[in-house]
Amino acid sequence: MQMDDVKIRNIGISAHIDSGKTTLTERILFYTKRIHAIHDVKGKDGVGATMDSMELEKERGITIASAATYCEWNGYEINIIDTPGHVDFTIEVERSLRVLDGAILVLCAVGGVQSQSITVDLQMKRYKVPSIAFINKCDRSGANPFRVIDQLRAKLGHNALAMQIPIGLETDLEGVVDLISMKALYFDGDNGEVIRMEDIPEKLLAEAKSRREELIDAASMFSDELTEAILEGDEITPDMIYAAVRKGTLKREITPVYMGSAYKNKAVQPLLDGVNHLLPCPSEVENVALDMEKNEEPVVLENDPDKPIVALAFKLEDGKYGQLTYIRVYQGTVSKGSTIVNVRSGKKVKVGRVVRMHADQMEEVEELKSGYIGALFGIECSSGDTFVSSGINLTMTSMYVPKPVISLAISPKDNKSQMAMSKALNRFSKEDPTFKTFVDQETNETIIEGMGELHLDIYVERMRREYGADVETGNPRVAYRETITQRADFNYTHKKQTGGAGQFGRIAGYIEPITDAEFIFDNQIFGGSIPTQYIPACEKGFKQSMEKGPKLEFPITGVKVVINDGAFHAVDSSDMAFQAAARGAFREAYSRAKPVVHEPIMKVVVETPPEFQGAVMGLLNQRRGMIVGSQDEGTMCVVESQVPLSEMFGFSTVLRSSTQGKAQFTMEFAQYRLVPQSIAEKIALEVAQNKKTAA
């Protein structure tokens, strides 16, 4: 481990929407002297929080794109990625977690572990990111940090350990008792920047002692030295406790819990101490790349600045001076003027300006060593690309990218907007792998696809604001799919002789349903009834047929095609003839294979005060939702359900009006499921109608 590496922390701040993570980040930047004034998320001063740099984010009070920034605390360099809280932007959260070494899980002292905290926690588990928790909003009425700790244990299975206890709660919140130093900490000054350390108030002493005991007990599982000190009755030093808790944290077997109120400037600084003491430095995290030359064999990277470069571009942004590419360097040193290779395209790129970002302000640096996060200017690449030194061919593990479930037709209002729109679409699809765009060849419409209504809304809005593209949008369309439910044989001859060269090809075989793949082509022809050179044409013909079902025109999935016989003509057979024969054969068999339509089903979790539970369940039920269950959480209750995406349009408005705006919901893709017959008929009618209109 290099000396300076020990004092680097690459962390993320992940949480449920509205649990106050942007405010927390703002305070962190203030205490680390990166900013000199505090602005609230939805502030009256009209400035907005520093991390919410996109205009739209400031307006809606939510964080969309993760801005990266760095700061220093007690000699440690901390790179922070602020991550979006809404589930529609989960890809951003996942991308951030990929490049982080540790995270702060922010929880609301009133709301506790909410549905999205569970999603975010699952993502952290997937990328094995060690975390510490911060229970925020302890100044709010109904705050109960120890209930949240219980929820961390029960709902997320964390071995959550309080590192502090609060001094007062709700409006009486004064500070915290640090269970390691056994001192009471108060936060004075206009913005809580002056820390006053005093003896623990008498009334809290007993609780502090028992909580400290709990903490030491749990930590001793990870340190022989600490266990020995307990058994021998020796003095237990703060270093001993930190070392043991740190070990547990890095293994993800302990989640240390800090608490306070970012908004009221209470106890943010001790959380930063916790980041320094307990989260890993880059060398302590194993990062694996795939060797493209050895059949994607995993290679463990060394966090050594002198080794060849391996860096990942995890975020792109359009800045004033061109494309800004956020990178995390895993190995080697990326310096100004050096040459790096984009593994995906094979292109060599010369590194121009290297900067470190502080939301939308930047600081120019000479180099980024392994373990660091920074940004490059003027590099043409896509998000998720790996950059390496010439001569090596490693790629960082590809990130899990979910398929889009919703689409929308957009059209520019005028010529100027046309140019701006295509520029914006190009940028967005590079920035966000879950955002896709294409032109429908039949209707000639530009279609955008994404992970939810809000996801697409935000991009349309960004198109207008950032690119000046005035666009009209059509109704959102759900990504239905077709599949077959039984085996059907085919024996199709394509024959055409209308002057000129004829066309001839016969294909026989069967199609059958499969569940573990989208399409399988199995050639079982022996004896050359179809010559080998035409087999790829047959496959291509079948694949083309899968793109659109013959009746409803949705993509077809889950089909295995087996061909076992056929015929050809020495003169008239060609690739084209066999492609056409395959398409004909598929059409012939498809209608007999009992095709059905599947629709995306979303997991919808609504959190509501108990008095609206009945109304919420009614709303979900009206939307063909299946309610899995309802969970009583004291002040709130959670209704879990599965609802077809097609029924979820406009749900947020209805939910707001039915619950006086007190309920909120998250939605994520769960599975594809068979559409009921009555709905399938409705869809068929709609498709026919659309076809008519298009014609």
Partner 1 sequence: MLKKEIIYRNPLVKLGYEQEDILLNGGLGAVMAHAGVGKTALLVQVALNMMIREESVLHVSLQDAVSNVDLWYREMFHNIAGSFTEPEIQEYWDKIQPYRFIMTFRVESFSVPTLEERLTDLLQQNIFKPHTVIIDGLRFDQAGREQLLLLKELAKKYAMRIWFTVHAHRHEPPADNGLPVSFLHVADLFDVIVQLEAKGDEVYIKALKGQSADAKQHSLLLDPATMLIKEGK
Residues that bind partner 1 (CB under 8 A): 154-155, 515, 613-614, 617-618, 621, 626-634, 638, 640, 673-674
Taking Cα atoms as reference points, which of 457, 450, 449, 460 lies closest to residue 417?
A: 460
Nearest distance in Å: CB 400, partner 1: 21
**Is residue 480 helix, strand or coil?**
coil
Nearest approach in angstroms of CB 630 to partner 1 is: 5
Nearer to partner 1, 233 or 629 (CB): 629
> CA-to-CA distance for 533 and 537, rounded, in angstroms?
8
Nearer Cβ to partner 1 (155/158): 155
Q: How far is CA 235 from the centre of its chain?
A: 45
**Full strand arrangement of the beta sheet holding 394-396:** 297-300, 288-291, 394-396
Show the tokens assigned to 264: 């009221």
Decide: residue 205, CB within 10 A, 0-12 exposed, 13-18 middle, 19+ buried.
middle
Residues counted in the chain: 695
Q: Is 448 exposed, middle or buried (0-12, 13-18, 19+ CB in 10 A)?
A: buried
Would you say 249 and 278 are in contact if contact means Cβ atoms under 8 Å apart? yes
322 or 676: CB nearest partner 1: 676
Give the span between the Cα atoms of 437 and 620, in whole angstroms: 31
The β-bridge partners of 323 are 318
Closer residue to partner 1, CB minimum distance, 37 or 122:
122
Nearer to partner 1, 51 or 638 (CB): 638
CB of residue 301 vs partner 1: minimum separation in angstroms? Answer: 36
The minimum distance between CB 557 and partner 1, in angstroms, equals: 13
Query: Judged by CB, which is closer to partner 1: 104, or 156?
Result: 156
DSSP reduced 3-state for 272: helix
CB of 368 to partner 1, least distance (A): 41
**Closer by beta carbon to partner 1, 627 or else 683:** 627
Q: Cα dist. 280→9, 166, 520 in Å?
A: 7, 26, 45
Q: Shortest Cβ distance from residue 103 to partner 1 (Å)?
A: 22
Nearest to 338 by CA among 270, 387, 374, 409: 387
Instruction: Supply the minimum distance, in Å, between the C-beta of residue 632 and partner 1.
Output: 4
Q: State the alpha helices, DSSP H only, in 327-436.
A: 415-431
CB of 169 to partner 1, least distance (A): 20
Helices 224-232, 202-219: crossing angle, 10 deg rounding: 130
- The candidate with the shortest Cα–Cα distance to 72, out of 6, 121, 119, 8, is 8
Is 626 or 654 the residue whose CB approaches partner 1 more closely? 626
| Residue 528 or 629 with smaller CB distance to partner 1 | 629
Q: How far is the CB of 640 from partner 1 (least distance, A)?
A: 5
Q: Which is nearer to partner 1, 182 or 674 (CB)?
A: 674
Q: C-beta of 107: minimal distance to partner 1 in Å?
A: 16
Integer-rounded Cα Rg, in Å, for the chain is: 29
